[in-house]
């Protein structure tokens, strides 16, 4: 499991909405090339997306939606499944967004995943820095 904490100078609802709608990911995650909404709006529990990134295609489903406090996703791909859980708290104009990422590799990835954790942490920190900048941009 990987835990990452972001401190964002914006309302929790703004950060929540940016993260919940995976179509925003092309704006902050440099590895994501395409995101398609596969279910209807509004965004909420059960919403499904198809995401294409440098590792391939992923099916993403929002499994928990309690705006603006908790948000959960399941990401399924050929090589792994990932459970992602976010907890958001807001105080004094700063939102603390704690993400927990629990990946389960499939096939050979079951053995490779532990070795990739340092690289995943590095990439996550870089992309989350981009997410913070987007959230802190006025407008």
What architecture does CATH give domain 2-136?
Answer: 2-Layer Sandwich (3.30)
Tens digit of pLDDT for each residue in 27-68? 999 999 999 999 999 999 999 999 999 889 999 999 999 999
Q: What is the pTM of this model?
A: 0.94
Tens digit of pLDDT for each residue in 120-135? 899 999 999 999 999 9
Percent of the chain with pLDDT over 90: 90
Report the alpha-carbon distance of residue 103 to residue 63 in Å, rounded: 16
Contact 18, 135 (CB under 8 A): yes
Q: Where are the domains of the chain?
A: 2-136
> Residue 22: pLDDT band by 50, 70, 90 thresholds?
very high
């Amino acid at each position: 499991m990987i835990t990452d904490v972001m401190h964002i100078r914006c309302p929790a609802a703004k950060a929540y909405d940016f993260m919940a709608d995976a179509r925003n990911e092309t704006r902050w995650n440099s590895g994501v090339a395409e995101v398609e909404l596969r279910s209807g709006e509004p965004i909420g529990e059960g919403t499904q997306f198809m995401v294409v990134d440098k590792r391939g295609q992923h099916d993403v489903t929002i499994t928990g939606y309690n705006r603006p406090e908790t948000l959960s996703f399941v990401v399924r791909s050929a090589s792994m499944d990932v459970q992602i859980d976010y907890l958001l708290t807001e105080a004094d104009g700063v939102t603390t967004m704690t993400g927990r990422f629990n990946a389960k590799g499939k096939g050979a990835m079951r053995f490779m995943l532990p070795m990739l954790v340092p690289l995943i942490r590095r990439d996550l920190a870089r992309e989350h820095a981009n997410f913070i900048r987007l959230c802190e941009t006025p407008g």
